[in-house]
Every structure is written in structure tokens, then in C-alpha cells.
Chains A and B, each alone.
Chain A
């Protein structure tokens, strides 16, 4: 095997709750600081302590950072999963294991290399407290990896300095453990391995951040003042982040008051109720949740849709249905959110692909919610939300002013003969609204029951339908305001490949591989519902389109056929929905499974 610099994948198999996350994060961050394109995927269980958890790191100088699925090195620190982990090492790859105990015969493969490091023994000898022994075993492993992968030790030292700063004892323990692992490798093995790291400068304008933190920051920048939520994996860290940023940026420097309110609700029914109440009263308000939470919110989402009240819902999607697999990723809530609630409803969805878009789209959600007086969903997912992504530094345009939509002022109301809540007067499908406490002439009785365009209770068929027709028109109008899809065309392309959200890196990598195979394809990543005009245009100009998405039923495929004129036989679903982030390999496998069709097109 030739030497491979900055192109490899490793997988660390750990026991949940043993402090492995901090050691894994240290390695990931060190590689990032070395300026090398990298990604880390945390494949963790729904558990606090004891169950298996894996962390994958992929390094790729060209910037391909979707999951690799071929592991050059597996660090097997969990005896529960030993057998499976050994089996996953690629031919000729390496297994790093704790040689404090001998390996069973059944774990021996003759086509891989074994690196035994007596981690437990060394840590037991070096550290006293039982908990410290366990934690430091992970750090000692990181020490071994520093040497095996040629991670810059100075960078690691700097990171420990930043992390533990004043906690001298912690810093010294970490240093000691790192040295144990590193020294053992130096004394007993050839290092670095044939695949290893070399400093680059690909990350100068980048940051390492998870999507939930980015969403939280976007909500602060977008001017959200009321946040209501109920704890749920994987959305909890959105609100943790929002609180942290509010503490940092929203405490009034003069008075010390909080220019925000975070309400931990009794359930998701209440969380969305609070958002609707606050929005009704003129605040930018949002909730963060996952699929099960959206299920509970369905009732009031219909109220917000019909009574035309803004609401922003961050849905960090996880594997459903039911409790499903709460710590695994999926794009399974498209239907649930696009058509949430009873009766005829349609909502606006923004679908980010990475933390940078989470940050950009969050303020956009508030703009759209207030402009169109309707619920707007930010469709993140666990992979985007909870994994650290290398993403361009966020920037902010100080000339941004929030689009608060049509809200009548006291002066405007004063000059009106009479205010009619649901009667647009400017040729658009959106009528002006009024806020409580402004003027008695704007007073209005908001209700979820049947109403006519004047806002008066009705059960008259035509009057009811008139309002419903306008709501549909409003949704159509929104198509001109949502983010356009990202479209990338290739010379000689005869096929389109469409995807959404966090599938982006895997699909792009697959497209490059397909181009190398003489099968160039055009790319479209849809970023919103209702579908932008460019989406229809792309569909109209491609006779054969793969649609890559992470759910069983091809929800995006169905929405495309429902909401655009595209004929169903043009759409070729590629559905990967088992819960782990997508790999280019998944896409290539699915495409090659239909090779004959493809060859016929490119003949």
C-alpha cells in the first residue's frame, strides 16, 4: 500500500460514558487546527453510560468529508463490540487494541495489522482514582494516535492549555496520559503509519461547529426574544446554545435585565402554544424539537396556519417512527412538517445542509414567518445538528433589517375606517395584522374557527373557501422568497441528481466519482419548500433524476411529484435511512444497481 498523506479514515469504538467523547474531540480538533480537511461523526447510543459508541474521523486533502465506510484504523476500546470492530478493518488495515488482556483467537485476522498497547495496565499504574484511570485510558489512546497518525503534538498541547487553562491538575493528568500512549508507540512500533497527517492550510477561513450551536446563534442574530421548548434528543443543544449566547449577548449592559425569555414548557403542545402566543404579541419566537415533538405540535400548527400567526420551529430530525432511534439521523419528517395538522395545511420548510446554512437560515425563518404570517420549519437533523462540521466562518451583514411583515402602526390604524384582519389590500395574498396594545381600532379576535376575509366567524361555504384559497396562494407566493436550490451542472451530463440537507457532501463526492467513471451528472440540492421555480426548471430539463434522501418512503420524491408537474417515472429514489450519516459509497452502490439504465442513457 502506497503512503497516503491526509487521506484515511479511522473509527474509534468506545463505551458510552467513559470520557471518550472528550478524547475523540481532542483528536478531531487537532487535525482541524493542522489545516487538514476533516470530519467527525459521532455514532452514539440512546444511553448515558455503558452501551457501545463509535466515533469516525475522516481526513481527506481534497475535502471529501462524508463517511468513508472503509476504515484504515480501528481503535477497539470496547470488548462488547470487538468482533464487529475487527471485521470492519479494511484489508491491510490496522487495529489498535488494549493489550492489557490477550486477544481471543477469533479476533485474529491474518490480513490486518495489530497494534497492542497496554492502556489499562499503564493507566492503572500511573493513576490512582478509578474514574481517572478510566478517563485517562482514552487520553492515552489519543497519545498513541498522535504518534501513529503524526498529529502535531504542539497543537494538542495548545488545545489542552486552552481547555484546562487554570485547572492545572487536569492538564497535567492529560499530558501524562498522552505521554504514556505516545511513548509506548515510539518504543514498540514503526510510526507514523503509512497513512498519516501532514499540516496543510485548508482551514484558515473555517470553523469547527455543530449545527445546533449554529442554529442557536442564528436565532440570536435573527432577533428571537422568546424561546419555548421541551427537552428532546437531538434538539436539546439548540436551546442550550441559545441560552449560552443570550447570556453572552443579551444581558442589558446598563440594567442587567435579560433581553430574552426562555421557557421550558411542560410538553411540546405548550412549547408551540407559547411560540404562537408570543408571535401573536409581536415577538420573534421559536421552539426547537424533533419529530415526536412536531407530532404533538400538529394541533396548534394548524391554528397558526389558519389564524395566520408566525411561528418558527426548528426540527432536528431523528429516526422515527415513534421513539425510534433517538440518537440516529434521518430526514423522515418532511411530510410531517410540510403538511402538519388536520385539514388542508401547507407550511414553509427551509432545509440547511450544514451548520453554516443553519446560521444563515435561522434569521430567514423569522423573516418568512413574519412576512407570510405562518409557521416556518428549519429542517435540520441529528447529523448536522450534533456533529462537528468544518464549515466556512460565519459572517453577518450589518445592513440586515428584520422583515417584520405587515404590522399596522397606531397611526396607520388611526387613519383606517375599519380594520379587516384577513383582507389583503396590496395585491399580495398577505393581509396586514395588528398587535395587541397598539390601538383599539386594531383589536381583533383571533380564532381557529371558520372565518371570512373580514375576520368574522363564518360557516358559509364560499366565504370559508375564499380564505382557504388565499392561504394556498400565500404558500405559492412564498416560493419566490425561499432560498433557491444549489444547482451545479457538468459538461455532458444527461442525468440529474437531486438531494437535500446533510446528504450534500456524500452526494458531491459520488458525483465526482461518477464523472470519473464517464457518467457526469447535474446536481441540485433543494433548500426549501414550497419549491422554488428553479426546482421545476431543473426537473423539466432532466428526463432522469436520482433523488437521494434519508427516509424509507422517498418523502422528497413524493413531494416533488405532488407539488410539481414532474412525472413519477422520471424520479429514481435512492433511499438510505438506517440512521447513520450518508457515505458516497451508498450513492454509488445504488446507482450501479441500475447500471443498465444508466448505460443506455449515456450510450
Chain B
């Protein structure tokens, strides 16, 4: 409801994070999405995750493509730079941005049309580059802004609002990412903030590309009977495969490992991803196990951190680039100067 303006006053009792900022400091402008949209819940989870991690607002880069989901970066962290680019092209823009300045935290928000149709090539190659970013795919199985066409993630048999059934097989971003070699793959549900927030935090801490597929029902075009991306259907088929919590500092978790199947993944930045529930025999660092688990649970909405690998170099490590931003290197380091040129000219004689 965009006609309502957010209050400017912050209540003094609001908790402050390490930077002394309240959660209000991580908000953006008022959402213009439909009331009840799953995307707004994800926005709230993103705000919570960034606040809890004490990400400095101006050190965050928010990127998106085109679509309902891609509008959402305006709705969080108003103090961060954002780039609402072109349909499907966000991973390419993010790749260049990240190449120029690796010191920022990169958060991309995309949708199923943006990621799985027009931009599937860019998404695939950002995964291959292990681009260091959190990529949130707000997956509602429908084209919202153009009013209700099936998307590539629509399940076979899922019905449109007009009653038409989809006949083509869906693209599952989680399985896609796993086969492409993604180093962090998770799925969650916009209606489960308790699960989503720690997953987002782990994704932000991950070394490389973190894909988080979030089932996010479209209340206007895909929340009816017969839809497989509705609130009702998702709640009914929601299968929490793994339960995990994100622990910012490694030293805090000593001796915490307990129940059967529990495990901890040491994140590259020193934090930890602590699993409190993992199905028996399932290893979250085993790509094939993740794929087999998904296959065994077809028809269910399997959620949780499904795969994580902190050992793969991200793009900058592969390119051996300096720690400081390439964009701010002094010109004297970049231009070889007249002496070197005069010498080089001898090679062209």
C-alpha cells in the first residue's frame, strides 16, 4: 500500500547491533507490492539478516533485474547503493561490480522469470565463476508484472488463475545450481522467517556464490486452488530436510554439537554454519547426496541448506586480484609510463 508513508521516528527501545544501528536503519522505502506478497516477507528476512550481521549499509550493494522480485531492493537498506538493472542481466552486472570492488557485500534479488528464463545463462555462469554474492531467487512460479503467465518454475499440472494447466517440465533452481557446481545451495519458504533468516546469513558469509531459492507465493496470480506455489500447497508439502543456525564467530560453538546427524561447517570468514538436524546418511557437503535426497523427495518442497562447500575459490581468488578495489588503484600502478612504452616500441620493429 504505497500511499502510506513510513514513520520517521525510531522508538528508543529498539535494539542496536554492533554498529549501533537499529533494524529500522536497514529498511528502505515503502513496498509497492500487493498486500500479502511473499516477497515482502523475504524483504523482512533480508533486513533482519543484514541487521543481525551488522553489515554497514554503505558497504552493501543491492542488485536486481526486472520483475516484482527485482523491485524489492528499494524496500531494504536505503543507505546502500542499489542497481535495478535489466531483465535477467543482474548476474552480469553483479559480476562486473564485484570485479571492480571486492570489498562490498553483494546481494542480488531475482525472480523465477528473471533467473530461469531470460537470465538463465547469466545465472549459470555466475555460478560457474563462483561469484562472491548472495543470490536470492524469489520463486513464485508466475509472471506477476505481466499478469499471470506461467514461468519456467511452474510445475507440470499446476493451474493458472484462469484454470489452464502447465504442460512443460519445470526448472528447479536448486537442482540446476547443484549440477552447475554451485558452492552453496539452499531453499526456503517466505512464510518461514525462522528458517530463512539464518540461511540468508550463512549465504552472505559464504565464500562464493550462494543460491537461496525462496518459494514466495504470489497472492494475486498464483495463490489459488490447483497452484503448486500457493501458500496452502507450500505449507502442506513443506519438507524441512535440514535445520541449521548461523553462528557469526567460530569460538562460540565449542561443545554445542549434539543430536544425531548434527554437523558444523566452518565458513571461510571464520563464522560457522551449525546444523541441528540433518537426515540420517545425508552429508551437506556431498553434492550427489543432496541431489539424491531431492530425487527421493519429489513432490515435496524440500528446504534448508542443502549443500555447502567452502573450499572452492571465488572469482577474485581465481583471478588473483588484489584485496583493495581494482577501481581505486592509483593510476601510477596502472599506467606503465613513457619509459616502458619507448622500450616496448623496439618489439614492433
Contacts and interface: CB of A to CB of B under 8 A. Distances in A.
Interface of A: 32-33, 207-209, 217, 220-226, 228, 249-250, 252, 255-263, 265-267, 269-285, 299-300, 303, 393-398, 400-402, 434-440, 442-449
Contact of A275 (B96, B342, B345): B96
11 contacts: A221-B341, A225-B329, A266-B121, A273-B95, A274-B93, A277-B63, A394-B345, A443-B81, A443-B82, A445-B83, A446-B85
A260 B326 contact: yes
A465 B20 CA distance: 42
Nearest to A274: B96
Given A273-B96, A396-B337, A443 B79 contact: yes
B333 A274 contact: no
Contact of B99 (A261, A437, A448): A261
Nearest to A224: B334
B338 A277 contact: no
B349 interface: yes
A300 B333 CA distance: 30
B345 A277 contact: no
Contacts, number: 225
B79 A269 contact: no
B95 A220 contact: no
A33 B122 contact: no
Given A258-B320, A443-B78, A221 B336 contact: yes
Given A209-B348, A272-B92, 14 more contacts: A224-B334, A226-B99, A259-B322, A263-B96, A266-B125, A277-B99, A281-B327, A398-B337, A400-B335, A401-B331, A435-B81, A436-B81, A436-B97, A446-B84
B265 interface: no
B100 A277 contact: yes
A162 B59 CA distance: 52
B331 to A, nearest CB: 5
Nearest to A260: B326
- Interface range for B: 35 or more
Contacts of A33: 349
B44 interface: no
Contacts of B342: 393, 395
Nearest to A225: B326
B234 interface: no
B60 to A, nearest CB: 8
A299 B333 contact: no
A319 B100 CA distance: 34
A207 B97 contact: no
Contact of A263 (B95, B331, B335, B348): B95
A440 B122 CA distance: 29
Contact of A249 (B89, B95, B104, B336): B336
Given A252-B322, A280-B93, A446-B84, A223 B122 contact: no
Contacts of B58: 436-440, 442-443
B200 to A, nearest CB: 20
A284 B325 CA distance: 12
A278 B83 contact: no
Contact of B334 (A208, A225, A442, A443): A225
A263 B85 contact: no
A270 B74 CA distance: 24
Nearest to B56: A440
B80 interface: yes
B336 A220 contact: yes
Interface in B69-103: 73-74, 78-86, 89, 91-101, 103
Given A282-B101, A445-B74, A448-B86, A207 B348 contact: yes
B311 interface: no
A280 B83 contact: yes
B101 A266 contact: no
B152 interface: no
Contact of A277 (B97, B319, B337, B341): B97
A446 B81 contact: yes
Contacts of B95: 228, 263, 265, 270, 273-274, 277
Contacts of B340: 249
A261 B326 CA distance: 8
Contacts of B329: 225, 259
A164 to B, nearest CB: 16
B348 A278 contact: no
B96 A281 contact: yes
Contact of B100 (A250, A285, A299, A439): A285
Contacts of B121: 266-267, 269-270
B61 interface: yes
A249 B332 CA distance: 11
A372 to B, nearest CB: 18
B321 interface: yes
Interface string B186-217: 00000000000000000000000000000000
